[in-house]
Structure formats: structure tokens, C-alpha cells
């Protein structure tokens, strides 16, 4: 049984199609993150699941029931937004209880439920404060309390942490993760931030321009991106991408990057493309500047950004930017002298230069 199922879901505004027949199944208890650049249709998709946006085509099912025509309040979902407008004149307890009160839940029950939720969220000592007397993180917790107290089948989050500063954001991220471990409510979480997606998700859905580019676990997407879009979106910094020409033979193909040769994995698609243009992908983490391997690739170092245990080396390769991520421990003095790197051939990705599709992977 799926918890939420989208089938050929379409949204049009006039002639503009902003969600283009997407299919997705979310399993019970799963934490799924929709990630993609601004304007790609994430919020629209979430709002169609919540019932806040009319569906142009296809269907939304919650626990096997098509809810296309079910009112938002009857879908048994709870949504947490970026702008979590709390009622300023109500205290924390009253804010959390608000939804229960309008549903005419008995008073004694409300008190118990609010106390329970406050305990889960660490708000017990703040129940009598007004929103103005709370920190940003506490206010965000109250907004989550309002959602949790209803015991919904599904939590929907739309960029709930975007208004918080970086430190608070990473704290709240961990809290949301702990909360999900404890409550195990199926959750769909929208963000444009790939770090949030990587750290929170059981599975990530990468969206782009109204379509789904790839669905997978965070490590799936990191190690096996289906195309150049996903390779360029997931990872920090994202995968380096270089135009190259395929040389060598079917058994031992190479990438010709300007006047340098990089061995490529012997993928069947490459055998048919000797002489053709491709895009070569190398993760910043996979470019090794410490180990003397065979076939070093020369780069020109422009800038070293030291982050502490790691450093980013901004280099150019065939006049294109190429970033190397490396540890600093024991190497720090050498980083300013880097002039080449080596890479394991099996960590080099090759993409079709026209379609951006990766070679050597079944259909994603």
C-alpha cells in the first residue's frame, strides 16, 4: 500500500504547464524530499496533494483513496509552511490547540494532546508565552506542534526552515529528523536546498521545470546521477562537468580533454561513440591530489578555500572551472602547489553531450 500516490499529475495555469504528468509513490512512514530550483513546480505539487490547488489532470491518492475532489480539511494531511503565521494574540498552548478547537474536540482531550505535543517539541515551559516572546526556532516548533497535534496521515512541509538563520536551520533540520524517527508519519518535504534534501530524505525526488529528473536515496543520486542536471544539482560543490571527445578503442576508451587523455570506463555506449562529443563528470571529492596515480590530469590552481578539515581547490581544466575537494590534515602546506589530480576510472561519469543522459546505467 502506498501512502501517497501521484498518477500523471498535471497542473496548468492557462496555457502554461507547470507540473507535467508526474508519477510518484510515497511509501508508508517514508520521508520524501522534493528538491529542485525555484519555480520548478515543487510547491504546486505539494499544494495539489494538500488540496489547496486544483488539479488539471491525473490524480492524487492518499492511502489508496483518490482525493481529487476531497476538501483539504478532509484529506487528513497537515501542512507546515515557510511563513507559519501563528496567532499573535494566542499563547503557545492556544496556538497548538487551535485546529482541535475548531473541530470541537472535548476540552480535556485538547489539554492532554497539547501537553503531549509540547513535551515532544520541548515547549512545555513556554505554553503560556505569546509568539512575540519566542525565538525563531521556538516559533517554528509551535507551527510544527499545530500540525502534529492533529495526528495526520501525512505531513507536508514547504520550505519550513527558509526563514531561519544558518545555525538554527541545521538545528531544526536535526529536530525534524528526530521527530520523524519518533512519530514515523509519512512526510513530503519541499526545499530548494540540496543539503537539506540529502540530510533529511529517505528518498529524494529531483524536479526540474515541471518534470521529475530522478528519484532515489541520497547516496544513489550522489553516486549514480541519471543525467547532467542531477549531477549538477546534488553534491556540494556539485559534480564537475567537462566537454570531451571520445578517443581510444571500445575496450579502452579515453576522453580527450583539450590535449590531455583521461581513461574512461569501457561502457557499451562509448564503443559506438569513438570520435563523438560527450560530457565527462568528476565529483570534487573523487579528484585525488595526494596519491600519485597513473594518468595525472594537469590543472591550473587559481584559489584555495580552506574550510577546516577540508579545502576546496578552485582550478581550471581546459579553460573550464574545475573544483577539487580534499582533506587538509597532513597536507595543508602542499595545497598551494597542486598542479594535477588522479581519479579512479570507475568514478568517472560519462553523459550524452546532447541529451545529458548518463551512460552505463539502466533507465532511471
Ligand X SMILES: Nc1ncnc2c1ncn2[C@@H]1O[C@H](COP(=O)(O)OP(=O)(O)O)[C@@H](O)[C@H]1O
DSSP one-letter code for 48: H
Binding segment for ligand X (CB under 6 A), chosen from 39-47, 57-65, 120-128, 179-187, is 39-47
**316: which 3 cell numbers?**
581550471
CB 53 within 8 A of CB 44: yes
Residue whose Cβ sits closest to Mg ion: 43
Q: Using the rule CB under 5 A, is 191 a contact of Mg ion?
A: no
- Shortest approach of ligand X to residue 351 CB, angstroms? 24
Provide the CA 100 distance to its chain's centre, in angstroms: 32
Binding segment for ligand X (CB under 6 A), chosen from 37-45, 221-229, 293-301, 321-329, is 37-45
Which residues ranging from 3 to 62 are in contact with Mg ion (CB under 5 A)? 43
Q: Using the rule CB under 6 A, is 203 a contact of ligand X?
A: no
Distance CA 176, CA 187 (A): 10
DSSP E strand boundaries for 93-149: none
Q: Using the rule CB under 6 A, is 18 a contact of ligand X?
A: yes
Which residues are CB-neighbours of 53 under 8 A, at least 6 positions away?
11, 44, 47
Residue closer to ligand X, measured from CB, 56 or 105: 56
Distance CA 78, CA 144 (A): 9
SS3 assignment, position 60: strand
Residue closer to ligand X, measured from CB, 15 or 309: 15
Selected from 38, 292, 294, 309, the binder of ligand X by CB under 6 A is 38
Binding segment for ligand X (CB under 6 A), chosen from 31-39, 146-154, 284-292, 341-349, is 31-39
Residue closer to ligand X, measured from CB, 211 or 348: 211
Count of all residues that appear for the chain in the document: 364
Which residues ranging from 294 to 313 are in contact with ligand X (CB under 6 A)? none
Q: If contact means CB under 5 to 8 A according to the sort of partner, which of Mg ion, ligand X, none does residue 18 touch?
A: ligand X
The closest alpha carbon to 29, from 159, 153, 147, belongs to 153
Which residues ranging from 41 to 60 are in contact with ligand X (CB under 6 A)? 41-44
- Shortest approach of Mg ion to residue 43 CB, angstroms? 3
Which residues are CB-neighbours of 312 under 8 A, at least 6 positions away?
237, 284, 304, 305, 323, 324, 325
Residues that bind ligand X (CB under 6 A): 13, 18, 36, 38-44
Amino acid at each position: 500500500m502506498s501512502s501517497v500516490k501521484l498518477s500523471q499529475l498535471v497542473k496548468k495555469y492557462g496555457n502554461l504547464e507547470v507540473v507535467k504528468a508526474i508519477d510518484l509513490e510515497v511509501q508508508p512512514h517514508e520521508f520524501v524530499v522534493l528538491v529542485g530550483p525555484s519555480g520548478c513546480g515543487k510547491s504546486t505539487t505539494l499544494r495539489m496533494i494538500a488540496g489547496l490547488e486544483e488539479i488539471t489532470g491525473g490524480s492524487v491518492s492518499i492511502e489508496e483513496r483518490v482525493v481529487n475532489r476531497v476538501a483539504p480539511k478532509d484529506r487528513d494531511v497537515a501542512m507546515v509552511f515557510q511563513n507559519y503565521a501563528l496567532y499573535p494574540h494566542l499563547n503557545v498552548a492556544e496556538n497548538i490547540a487551535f485546529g482541535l478547537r475548531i473541530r470541537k474536540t472535548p476540552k480535556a482531550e485538547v489539554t492532554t494532546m497539547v501537553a503531549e505535543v509540547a513535551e515532544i517539541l520541548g515547549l512545555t515551559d513556554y505554553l503560556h508565552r505569546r509568539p512575540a516572546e519566542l525565538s525563531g526556532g521556538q516559533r517554528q516548533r509551535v507551527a510544527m506542534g499545530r500540525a502534529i497535534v492533529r495526528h495526520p496521515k501525512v505531513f507536508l512541509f514547504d520550505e519550513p526552515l527558509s526563514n531561519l538563520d544558518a545555525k538554527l536551520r541545521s538545528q531544526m533540520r536535526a529536530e525534524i529528523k528526530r521527530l520523524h524517527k519518533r512519530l514515523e508519519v509519512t512526510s513530503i518535504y519541499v526545499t530548494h536546498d540540496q543539503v537539506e534534501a540529502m540530510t533529511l530524505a529517505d528518498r529524494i525526488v529531483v524536479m526540474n521545470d515541471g518534470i521529475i529528473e530522478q528519484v532515489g536515496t541520497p547516496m544513489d543520486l550522489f553516486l549514480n546521477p541519471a543525467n547532467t542536471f542531477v549531477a549538477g544539482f546534488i553534491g556540494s560543490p556539485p559534480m564537475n562537468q567537462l566537454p570531451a571527445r571520445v578517443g581510444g578503442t571500445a575496450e579502452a576508451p579515453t576522453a580527450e580533454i583539450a590535449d590531455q587523455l583521461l581513461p574512461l570506463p569501457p561502457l557499451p555506449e562509448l564503443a559506438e561513440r569513438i570520435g563523438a562529443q560527450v560530457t565527462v563528470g568528476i565529483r570534487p571529492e573523487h579528484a585525488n591530489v595526494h596519491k600519485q596515480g597513473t594518468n595525472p590530469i594537469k590543472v591550473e590552481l587559481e584559489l584555495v578555500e580552506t574550510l577546516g578539515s577540508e579545502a576546496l581547490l578552485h582550478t581550471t581544466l581546459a579553460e573550464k572551472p574545475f573544483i577539487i575537494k580534499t582533506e587538509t590534515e597532513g597536507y595543508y602546506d602542499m595545497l598551494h602547489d597542486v598542479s594535477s589530480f588522479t581519479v579512479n576510472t570507475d568514478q568517472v561519469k560519462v553523459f550524452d553531450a546532447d541529451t545529458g543522459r548518463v551512460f552505463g546505467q539502466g533507465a532511471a
